[in-house]
Structure 1
Amino acid sequence: MRFLANENFPRTSVIYLRSIGYDVAYGSEDAPGAEDSEVLTRAVVEGRIILTFDRDYGELIYRRRMRSPPGVIYFRYIPATPEEPAEDLLRLLRFEGISLEGSFIVLERTQLRRAPIALIMFCDRPLGSALRAMAQSARLRRSHLVV
Structure 2
Amino acid sequence: MKILLDTCVWGGVRSELEAAGYDVIWSGEWERDPGDEEILSIAYRDGRVLITLDKDFGELAIVRRIPHRGIIRLVNLSGRQQAAVCLRVLEIYRGELVLGAIITAGLNRVRIRPFDEG
TM-score bin (small chain): 0.7 to 0.9
Per-residue CA distance 1:19-78 (angstroms, 9 max, x = gap): 3321001101125322000100001110000000000011101111112x2100000113
Partner of 1:24: 24
Change (3 A) 1:74 1:96: closer
Per the alignment, in what secondary structure is the counterpart of residue 77 of structure 1?
Answer: coil
Contact 2:4/2:27, CA 8 A, preserved across alignment: yes
CA root-mean-square deviation: 1.9
Q: Which of structure 1's runs of 4+ aligned residues deviate more than 3 A?
A: none
Change (3 A) 1:115 1:28: same
Is 1:117 the counterpart of 2:115 in the alignment? yes
TM-score (norm 1): 0.72
The amino acid across from 1:104 in the alignment is I
- Identity rate of aligned residues, in percent? 28
Q: How many residues align?
A: 117
Per the alignment, in what secondary structure is the counterpart of residue 71 of structure 2?
Answer: strand
> Which ranges in structure 2 are unaligned for 5 or more consecutive residues?
none
Partner of 1:85: 82
* Residue from 91, 96, 106 that aligns with 1:94: 91
> Which ranges in structure 1 are unaligned for 5 or more consecutive residues?
120-126, 128-147
Tell which structure's C-alpha radius of gyration is larger: 1
